[in-house]
Each structure stands twice: as structure tokens, then as C-alpha cells.
Amino acid sequence: MKLSYPLHSKLICNIGNMYRIVISKVILAALLSSPLLMSQNLQQYNLNDVIVTASRVPLTFSDLTRDVVVIDKEEIKKLPVNSVQELLQYVLGVGLEQRGIDGVQSDVTIRGGNSEETLIMIDGVSVNDPQTGHHNLNLPVPLQDVQRIEVLEGPGSSIYGANAFSGVINIITKKGNDKSLSLGAEGGENGYYKGSIYMAYPIGIINNHFAVSKKKSDGYIHNTDFDITNFSYGASLNTKAGMMNLFFGYDDKKYGANSFYSVLFPNQWEHTTTKLLSLTGDIGTSNFILSPKIYWRRNDDSYLLDYTNPPFYHNIHQTNIYGAELQASIISGIGTTSFGGDYNSDNIESNNLGDHSRERKGFFAEQIFSSIEDLTVIANGFAYDYPTIGWKFWPGLDLGYNVTKNFRAFGTIGEAFRIPSYTELYYTSPASMGNPNLVYEETTDYEVGMNFNQPLYNAKISLFRKEGKNLIDWVRENSNQPWTATNIATLNTNGIEFNFMMQTDKLIHDFPVNRINISYSYLTSAKNTMQFHSQYLLDYLRHQLIISVDNKWWYGIRQDWEVRYDNRVIRQWRFEDYFLVDTQVSKEFGQFEVFLKATNLFNSSYSEISGVPLPGRWVTAGVQENFSL
């Protein structure tokens, strides 16, 4: 897949002891001999593909100096999912901790961090919720409107500022370049149905795209029903001076929240609505680009501890975020120089947390030096001002070197920070107490890695270390005390990630298996919280294995398999593990497509958040009709 960015075409530039590495080799050897391995659907990178999340200006894959995973629209079509949130469970290094399916509510983590430490963006605009990370994936964009998703693993504060602590997820929407219409319908077990519409229609120099989806289910156990509506509209104005993009998205979710926040209350219920309005652009010449952004995000949350007795405990929260950014990028003899400023203001109105507001501002700069003998050097930094921090500078340095045409080594060192959420600062209940004296979290990260890109296979390996301090956790000394948010923890995390993809259909002519992808990661963390018991920080994926298989059967029938093994650490002393198999079978008849999806095919019992069971086997079927207008 090649992407076109007219104004940026000239901006694209020409760890320690890893102990148990034997584990990954043993697992890999076992997998290669397994009959399950029949194909895969992870993207095969084209060295000319453009990645927009790894730096302040787009880079080609061949120039990357960071670990970035891309899910493009072709992969999205194959995967057995019905929401943007569910796509993330197939990304190595990403932990999706779901309380319900189809994007009802999910926490997303990267490399052992927590949900507060991942920056979520839509078209480069931050959509993190200032109240709580539980709302970061309230995404006002239907799956049908997603062009691709880019996941930057590792610190991103030197590029994007606050809360890009463990990584960045950038959801990039379609731009409506073609005249098309897609209609979809799906239904299945547990009273599930989904309807969707996507339309793109350029009018003159304005490209328009519109998407809406509606999905509903009776639930898989008591009080897990949901009713979700997503809507988005985008317009892109193309002129000789550049491009401006307008986006508006809306998300409405009503759902039963059985045991979401306490296993003692099976009748919890929640209703959230999220709106996002943004205006972004790239204006200028081939050697000088101005990139403005202005945006507004609002999230409303109504929560009942017991829907059979609403007055007993009812929380109502509303958050607003207003932001603006201006970036300039200049090409010169030394490479590409980008710099600019950022301003952000957020507030909350809540019957539990109270009414609060705060503002942040900063200046950033990045220098991509002209390549010298296959060496790429990127230096960046963000000077940030936050009330409890004052001005502080967060630097980063990335290096990439082409050892050969198809073998690239890379390394990075960077610092990152996260500011506390309103819940961590001000929440009060008999069981949990916020702390208005919290200060920011910070981390220093190191990573080295290698990419191999051949016509028949791709391989990647990364070693990394995270050194965090002043981390925020909910802690207590004994069970008679409430959990209290505290800057108490230091946390060092070491990890290894490995990915191997083979184009089996190119190796063996007419072989029914297209591609095979094997991904494996191992993490270990050591934390010091002194005498306190920890509630969250020691929950992470210790082992993560993902096998993706893509088959082409007879008569044009296509099948995708996703096999996952997760081994989770729960508060450092308990482990949970499970295997899951998901699949999708589809057949196209011209512009008409029929498909069958089955998740948790072997009906495993599992949970991703302790005490919140997730569904057993769930089968749905549907149709998709695509028109050219």
C-alpha cells in the first residue's frame, strides 16, 4: 500500500541482559512444526509505505528509527472484529483489557504500562479523557471509516507531549477520495445485530466521507447487553496551497456493566456519549509547510452502581478538552526541521469529583538530519509547562542504520511523562480515595532492534528497558484501609519482542496458505512500593503469542485465523493464561460479500480484567454490498 501526501513528499527523509531468550526460540520452533500454521494476514511492509506517527513529519518504512506496527484497511477487512477497539488485541506488545465486547469498554496498554499511559489519537489529535483512562477508547469513529491504525511502541513525549508514556495509537480516517457506497448488515447469537453505512463523494475540490454504524446485543450473561451508535463525517479541501481536513465524530454507548468496577454489584449500568470536532491541515510549499490543528472533545458519563435502585449511587461526569497546535516544517541542507507550539485546556464537571480545570502548554522541535551513508538521525524534544511541574524538557534521540538494503538496525532513547487524571486526583468513595497532591509520572526508555525485509519474509526483533519513577498506583497497607492514589512506585520493565512473517504463496505456487505471521513478546517487571499492596501496576502480559493465518480455499473462499495465547501477571503473585482462536470466512460475488465470524471458537473461559468474565464462543454472519457511484 502506497500513500500519497502531496505536501510532504519532500519531507520524507532519504539492552541489557535479556535472560530467558531461549523461551522465545523454543516456542518459535514448536510453532513452526505445528499443523495450525497455515497462513497469516499481518501487513507485509512496502519500503515506500509512509508512516506518520513515528516523528513530526511522515517517514517511509525504510527510514523508520522506531518500532511501529500498522494495521491497514485490507487487514481490517479480514479480521473477525466489529469495532476499532477489538483490532488492537492482534497487535504484539498491546494489551487490550476488555470489560465487554464490541468496544463497550476497554483499557489499552502498551509494553506493560497501564491505560492512563497510552496516548490515543484520531488523525493526530489526542482523544485521551482527562477523567479516566477507562474512557480513552470511547472512539467517535466507526470501523468503516478507518483507513489504518499506526501503533508507536515506546515513549512518545518528546514528539507528542503529555501521556505518550508507554506508546501512541493513531487512528487515521479515510479521506473520501473516491465515489463509493458500502452497506453492511450482520447478526448472530445473543440477539446481536449490526448495520452500517459508509459513503464517500467528492464535490469539486472537497472530498466528503460519511459513516454510521448501529450495533446491539442482549448480552452473553446477565446485564451485559449493549446498544452502541457511531457516526462520523469528514471533509477534505484540496487546493494548490495545501489541504485542510474537517472531522466530526459521535459515539453513544448504553451498556450493562456487570461487575465492571466491583464484583459485589452485578447490576451496574453506564451510558457514555463522546463527541470530537477537529480541523487540521498542511499548507505551504514543498520546502515549507505549516500544519495547524484545532480541536474539541467532550465526554459525558452517567454511571449507576445498581440500576434497580438509581438513587443509591449515581455518578455524573462531563469533561471537555480544547486544544490548538501549530507546526512549521522546513527543508534545508541539513535535513528537515520541525518546530511549533501546543496549547491544551481541559475541565470536568462532576457530582463526585467536583468541578476542576487546568491548562497545559509547550513548545516542541525535531531535527531529521540528512542521511549520511545509510544512517538516519532524529533528535526531538518537548518543553512542557504544567502547574505542578513548571517548565520541563523531555528529549528523545532515534538512530537507524541500513546495514544492507534489506537489513536495518535501529535504536532509541527517550524520556516521557504522564500527568494524573481527575479520578486519581479527586475521586472519593468508601473503597477508594484520590489524592490532589499527586505529581507527574516519568520514565526513561531504551530500545534496540533489527528489521529484516525480504521478498518472501519479514522479521523483526526488539529489546527494550523502561525505568519508571513516581508512578501512580492505588495502594493500601492492609485490607481495612481504602485504596489511595499515591506516587509511590518505581518500576523497571525489561522486554523482548519478536515477529516473523512469511509469504508462503510465493514460496509454493498455488499453495492455499497466503502468509504466516508469528509474534511473541516477553516482559518482566520489578517494582518497589515499600510496604504497600498494589492494585494495578503489577498487572501485565508476561507472555504474549499471536499467530495469524490467512487461507485461500477453493472457489474464492478466504479464511483468516487468529490464534492468541496470553499469560497475565495479576498483582505479581497470581498468573492467568488462556488460548483463544478467532476466525472469519468470506466469499465475494463481485461487489457483494458474505462472511461468517466466530470468536473464541473453542469456548474458553477467560477474563482480561479480574472478576469480569468475557464471552464464550460467539458466531455471527453478515453481508456487505459495495457500490461505485
Q: Determine the average pLDDT of the residues in 226-243.
A: 95
- The cell for 448 is 534496540
> Residue 350 corresponds to which amino acid?
S
Query: What is the torsional sign of CA 76, 81, 82, 85?
Result: negative
Where residue 429 falls among pLDDT bands split at 50, 70, 90?
A: confident
Residues 167-178 have a mean pLDDT of: 95
User: The domain containing residue 197 runs over which residues?
Assistant: 41-488
* Straight-line distance from the first to the last Cα atom of the chain, in angstroms, rounded to the nearest whole number: 23
Q: Does the pLDDT at position 535 exceed 80?
A: no
| Whether residue 7 has pLDDT greater than 60 | no
Higher pLDDT residue, 15 or 530?
530
Residue-wise pLDDT tens digits, 73-121: 999 999 999 999 999 999 999 999 999 999 999 999 999 999 999 999 9
**Percentage of residues in the chain having pLDDT higher than 70:** 91
Cell numbers of 552, please? 485461500
Would you mind telling me the total number of residues written for the chain in this entry?
Answer: 629
CA nearest to 119, candidates 104, 106, 129, 105: 129
pLDDT of residue 24: 36
**Is a pLDDT exceeding 60 seen at residue 599?**
yes
Identify whether the C-beta of residue 417 lies closer than 8 Å to the C-beta of residue 437: no
Q: Quickly state the pLDDT bin for 48 (edges 50, 70, 90).
A: low
What CATH number is associated with residue 235?
A: 2.40.170.20
Q: Is residue 91 part of a domain?
A: yes
Q: What's the pLDDT score for residue 36?
A: 31
Reported as type and span, the H/E element at residue 85 is helix 84-87
- Residue bearing cell 516477553: 522
Q: CA–CA separation, 116 vs 108, rounded Å?
A: 9
Cα 66 to Cα 153: distance, rounded to the nearest angstrom: 8
Q: Are 617 and 599 in contact (CB under 8 A)?
A: yes
E runs forming strands in 373-431: 375-386, 390-404, 407-418
Q: For residue 45, give the nearest of 14, 76, 28, 68 by alpha carbon.
A: 68
Could you tell me which of 413, 358, 346 has the C-alpha nearest to residue 381? 413
Q: What is the mean pLDDT of residues 325-354?
A: 96
Q: Return the minimum-mean-pLDDT range out of 223-237, 313-327, 574-588.
A: 574-588
Q: What pLDDT does residue 16 have?
A: 35
Q: What is the pLDDT at residue 477?
A: 81
Nearest to 470 by CA among 516, 419, 531: 419
Distance of alpha carbon 36 from its chain centroid, rounded?
28
Task: Please return the burial class of 30, using the count of CB atoms within 10 Å of its CB with bins 0-12, 13-18 and 19+.
Answer: exposed
Determine the residue type at 358. R
Backbone angles phi, psi at 389, to 5 degrees: -110, -40
C-alpha 563/C-alpha 545 separation (Å) is 8
Q: In this predicted model, which residue has the larger pLDDT, 21 or 474?
A: 474
Provide the greatest CA pair distance for the chain: 70
For 257, other C-beta atoms within 10 Å of its C-beta total 26
Residue 521: strand pairing partners? 497, 544
Check: CB of residue 559 under 8 Å from CB of residue 57.
no
Residue 12 lies in a domain: no
- Encode burial over 299-313: b for 16+ CB neighbours within 10 A, e otherwise: bbbbbbbebeeeeee
Q: What pLDDT was estimated at residue 563?
A: 97
Instruction: Please enumerate in sequence order all residues whose Cβ is within 8 A of that of 26, keeping only pairs 6 or more positions apart, or say none.
Output: none
- For residue range 433-492, list pLDDT tens digits in order: 999 999 999 999 999 999 999 888 999 999 999 999 999 988 888 878 888 999 977 889
| Residue 393 domain flag | yes
Answer whether residue 206 shows pLDDT above 50: yes
499 falls within a domain: no
Number of domains in the chain: 1
**Other C-beta atoms within 10 Å of 379: how many?**
15
User: Could you report the per-residue pLDDT of 360-379, keeping only the tens digit for each?
Assistant: 999 999 999 987 889 999 99
Does 80 reside within a domain? yes
pLDDT band at 530 (very low <50, low <70, confident <90, very high): low
- pLDDT at residue 386, rounded to an integer: 87
Beta-carbon contacts of residue 237 (< 8 Å; ≥ 6 apart): 205, 206, 243, 244, 245, 246
Torsional sign, CA 262, 114, 527, 22: positive
Angle at 552 between CA 551 and CA 553, to 5 degrees: 110
Tell me the pLDDT band of 33, cut-offs 50, 70 and 90. very low
pLDDT over 70 (residue 419): yes
The pLDDT mean for the chain works out to 89
Contact 321, 294 (CB under 8 A): no
Q: What is the mean pLDDT of residues 291-320?
A: 97
Contact 92, 167 (CB under 8 A): no
pLDDT at 23 over 90: no
The C-alpha cell that represents 582 in the structure block: 478467532
| Cell representation of residue 99 | 470489560
**Contact, 119 vs 160, CB < 8 A?**
yes
Residue 69 lies in a domain: yes
Q: What is the pLDDT of residues 537-546, one digit of tens each?
A: 778 899 999 9
Examine residue 541 and state whether it is found in any structural domain, yes or no: no
pLDDT digits (tens, 9 = 90+) for 609-618: 888 999 999 9
Residue 30 predicted with pLDDT over 70: no
Helix and strand element counts for the chain (H, E)? 6, 33
Does 292 fall in a domain?
Answer: yes
The Cβ of residue 324 has, within 10 Å, a number of other Cβ atoms equal to 15
Residue 574 pLDDT exceeds 90:
no
Q: Which residue did the predictor score with more confidence, 17 or 501?
A: 501
Rounded-to-integer distance, Cα 318 and Cα 300, Å:
5
Tell me what pLDDT residue 12 has: 38
Place 47 in a pLDDT band, splitting at 50, 70 and 90: low
Summarize the confidence of residues 312-332 as an average pLDDT: 97
